[in-house]
Amino acid sequence: MQYSLDHYGFDHDDILVLIDSDCFLVRPLSIRKYMEGWDIVSSRRTIRGTDMHYFWIGLVFLDIRTMPNKRTINFNSGRVLGLPADSAGQTHLYMIENPDAKIKLVDRLRVNYDASSSLACNSCKQRHRFDCAHNEQLLREAGFVGQEIPFLQMGPPIIEWHLDKQFFHYSRACSWDGQSEQFHTRKIAMVKRFIESVLGITN
């Protein structure tokens, strides 16, 4: 990522978007309008055990025209102030060194990682189920709309929503956490059905 920015991205003359390969736009969005008043917009990541924030490399909007000292931003991993950090952890230093940069960090919503992140009703949670047909009102109150509701009622495991629910993230697609082929086959089928519904594709 850093190589592509150094050799191509920083020479761009408009908004630049960095997006993970398993992250999908699922609502109508004008990135230009969303970025009004900001140099950088990203999902927030935090170095474990601290309150030190950095950009999530999977979804970042950079206004190359306005961000200060653009060529100094570093999206590499490594150690940050002596602490280990994931990809883009070095962006924490950019925020420290550029206090005048207008940066908007948005918390992600993690769903169905465990019972505490489940959006199922209490009865289904007690039965350790992510799928739930009784939680439509709960989902609407949480800000979900349209095809997002029946998708979530299917109980897709380990997923995320980013930038005010504009983007859906499959999450852990490379299976670094050791999930089985059967797990991903089932999850992919649910996600495929959801994305096709967003696109208006009918079988």
What letter represents residue 102's amino acid?
K
Label residue 38 by pLDDT band (50, 70, 90).
very high
Helix (H) or strand (E) holding 199: helix 181-199
The mean per-residue pLDDT over the stretch 61-86 comes to 96
Collapse the DSSP code of 62 into the 3-class scheme (helix H, G, I; strand E, B; otherwise coil) and give the result: strand
For tokens 């956490």, what's the residue?
Answer: 177
Q: What is the pLDDT of residues 116-127, one digit of tens each?
A: 999 999 999 999
Instruction: Report CA torsion sign: 32, 37, 40, 46.
Output: negative
Task: Concatenate the DSSP letters of all residues of 149-187 into one string.
Answer: HHHHHT--SSEEEETTTTEEE---TT-TT---HHHHHHH
Give the E-state strand segments of 53-93 in sequence order.
Answer: 53-63, 78-80, 83-85
Q: Which two tokens stand for residue 97?
A: 């060194």
C-alpha 63 chain-centroid distance? 19
Tens of pLDDT, residues 128-184:
999 999 999 999 999 999 999 999 999 999 999 999 999 999 999 999 999 999 999
CA gap 173, 65 in Å, rounded: 33
Confidence at residue 98, expressed as pLDDT on a 0 to 100 scale = 98
pTM attached to this predicted model? 0.93
Choose the weakest-confidence range: 33-42, 60-69, 169-178: 169-178
